[in-house]
Copies of this chain bind each other. A is one copy, B any other.
């Protein structure tokens, strides 16, 4: 087991990982930018090192600074959290070369699953359903036209190295394709230094469903059920739940078995998430692998009883899954997570600033993951999430009732937050009926969500 772990992240996830280290009796080292000097992750870690200025390019994203901090504090391992360097294969490689365990998949696996097209090929080979589309990278607009003709419009052009909607175009007819192809290619080249595109059939009004994976260093893979993440604004998840109201036990089992094989085949290790789109007939299609802990991991923790972050550390230290997990892992009850962001609840305009008052909800069935405290400042440099509010119940109805009362007793003053938006969602008949998809928010005209699905 590790003696000391460095957490290459900030905010609630840094605190989450520090807590896991404390529970495992491991010393923790926080790194922080000058803007985060008064953060709770700095306060509660055993050691803390300032690694750079407020802008993340010079601090949380700066590999030499993070590695230097790890070296001067003599840690055995680095947990990257989510975002920042978490899926950066170069960083994982530098860790390896520096003799520091990277708590995540191996660099070569990070590279494989980080390229959307190669991940898609690997999944397809293993029998995981993928969307009809191009075989590999498109060579030209002409090839795109021919593939699109075969799978039928509308189709999506996607950047192979993509993410966040950049290099993505929806094509409704062959007439528009050549133009949109060159636009997407230029955008992808600018954003990712790689203009490679591929093409997939567009699923209308899809649901976004993802499966949680844990894989140890000994070839054992466990799938811990799915999360429903269809409620999004501007391609960003805002409310997640587990299990999905639209996944049957049969579908869960079938996909889980296929996925376990696929992840074993690619040599996947540690925690990861496999994202799918679900069409209106209830079919799932692979879209991508997120090779890290997800923001929304607590809903899975609530319904499985598994501590995913502790599991990540134990896996990286070489523990086999049968030592970490109950066997078999059962799914019990229902959990919902609301992301409480420092944003205007209608325009989604960022609202950084000082929390002049804060009351966190508590009590039965409620979990809050946050690094916020009364009088803390939400800086404008990083993402806008202030807290994750998670509610658990015996069934979806009880989880919803708990979440409502938790939102009612969650007080944030001084800045805007998404609390009122969540209150609106949790009172909406379509949400209550489980009747929604990724365009739900934009269709309701709740906030300026983009129209194209993610």
* Interface residues in chain A, defined as those with a beta carbon under 8 Å from any beta carbon in chain B: 15-16, 19, 22-25, 40, 44, 298, 301, 305, 307, 309, 326, 333, 357-360, 362-370, 373-375, 394, 398, 401-402, 404-405, 408-409
Q: Which of A40, A298, A363, A398 has most B Cβ within 10 Å?
A: A363
Bound Cα distance from A24 to B362, whole angstroms: 17
Could you tell me if B44 and A307 are in contact, using CB atoms closer than 8 angstroms?
Answer: no
Instruction: Identify the closest chain B residue to A398 (Cβ).
Output: B23
User: In the docked arrangement, what's the CA distance between A104 and B373, Å?
Assistant: 38
Are the CB atoms of B19 and A363 closer together than 8 Å?
A: yes
Decide: B359 and A19 in contact? CB cutoff 8 A: no
25 contacts between A and B (CB under 8 A): A15-B363, A15-B409, A16-B363, A22-B401, A23-B398, A23-B401, A23-B402, A23-B404, A23-B405, A25-B401, A40-B409, A44-B409, A305-B333, A307-B365, A326-B394, A357-B373, A357-B374, A360-B360, A362-B369, A363-B367, A363-B368, A364-B367, A366-B367, A373-B374, A374-B375
Whether B305 contacts A405 by the Cβ 8 Å rule is no
Bound CA–CA A389/B286 (angstroms): 42
Instruction: Tell me which of B19, B307, B359, B401 contacts A373 (CB under 8 A).
Output: B359
Complex: chain B residue closest to A40, CB-CB: B359
> Are A364 and B301 interface neighbours, CB within 8 A?
yes
A305 CA to B393 CA in the complex, in Å? 9
Q: Please, which residue of chain B has its CB at the minimum distance from the CB of A397?
A: B23
A394 to B305, Cβ gap below 8 A? yes
The reply to whether A19 and B301 contact each other, CB–CB distance below 8 Å, is no
| With A25-B401, A362-B370, A364-B367 already in contact, 4 other A-B pairs whose C-beta atoms are closer than 8 Å | A19-B405, A23-B398, A301-B364, A309-B364
Most B CB within 10 A of own CB, among A23, A333, A365, A370:
A23
In the complex, what residues of B have CB within 8 A of residue A301's CB?
364
Nearest CB in chain B: distance from A340 CB, A: 12
Question: Min CB distance, A304 to chain B, in Å?
Answer: 11
Does A298 lie within 8 Å of B364, measured CB to CB? Answer: yes
Name, among A15, A24, A307, A394, the residue most crowded by chain B CB atoms within 10 Å (CB to CB): A307
How far, in angstroms, from A363 to B405 measured CA to CA in the complex?
18
Residues of B within 8 A of A357 (CB): 373-374
Q: How far is B298's CA from A375's CA once the two chains are assembled, in angstroms?
A: 30
Q: How far is the CB of A373 from chain B (nearest CB, A)?
A: 5
Bound Cα distance A409, B333 (Å): 28
Point out which of A16, A357, A367 has the most chain B C-beta atoms below 10 A from its C-beta. A367
A20 to chain B, nearest CB (A): 8
| Cα separation A374 to B22 with both chains bound (whole Å) | 25
Smallest beta-carbon distance A149→chain B, Å: 50
- Out of B365, B373, B375, B405, name the residue touching A22 (CB < 8 Å): B405
* A404 close to B40 (CB less than 8 A): no
